[in-house]
Amino acid sequence: MVSEDIEAQTMISSVEDTPKAVKEWLAATFTKQIFGRRQAVEPPKFRSIVQAVRASMYVDKITRKTSQAPVDVSPANQMLQEELNNWDIDVFKYDVLTSSKPFRGLFGEVLRRYGLVKRFKINLHSLENYCALVENGYNMHGNPYHNAKHGADVLITTHNLISSTGFAAG
C-alpha cells in the first residue's frame, strides 16, 4: 500500500515543474460548466486538480489489481481458508485433496497470511517452483514418515503456534 502511494505521488512529480500553459488549460478545462460558461465561483487551484487526478489514478490502480486477481476455489484451498487456523486440521485429507502435493499451496498460503509475499515481492511462479522442489526432496527417498505430509503438518503446527501466541501480531 505504501509503495502504491509513493508510485502515485511520483506519477505527477511536482506542481512547480508544470508549464504555465498546461496549468491554465487544466484550470480552464475543469472549471467550465456544461454549456461552456464559467462558474461564478473561484476556479479550483491547480494543486487540488492534481490531487484529484492522483486520487483517480490510485483508485483505478486498486480496482484493476483486485479485478485481475484469480480466485482459487478448489476444495484444497477452501479447506485451507476454513481450517488452517485449527489445531486439528486433517493433513491426510488435505494431502488427498492436493493429489499428494500438500506443501505447495500450504506454504504459499502461510506466506500470504503473514504478508511476506507482498512485503518481499516474492514472484508466485518462483515460489511455486521452490515449493515443488522442496516437496520432491521430501518424497525422494520414499520415507514413510519424513515426507511432504510431515512437512505440511510441521508447517501448520508452526503457523498455529505463531498465530495463537500473538507472536505474529502487528
* Residues with catalytic roles: 146
CA distance 18 to 136: 57
Contact yes or no for 105/152 (Cβ under 8 A)? no
Map the chain to HEC letters.
CHHHHHHHHHHCCCCCCCCHHHHHHHHHHHHECCCCCECCCCCCCHHHHHHHHHHHHHHHHHHHHHHHCCCCCCHHHHHHHHHCCCCCCCHHHHHHHCCCCHHHHHHHHHHHHCCHHHHCCCCHHHHHHHHHHHHHHHHCCCCCCCCHHHHHHHHHHHHHHHHHHCCCCC
Contact yes or no for 120/92 (Cβ under 8 A)? no
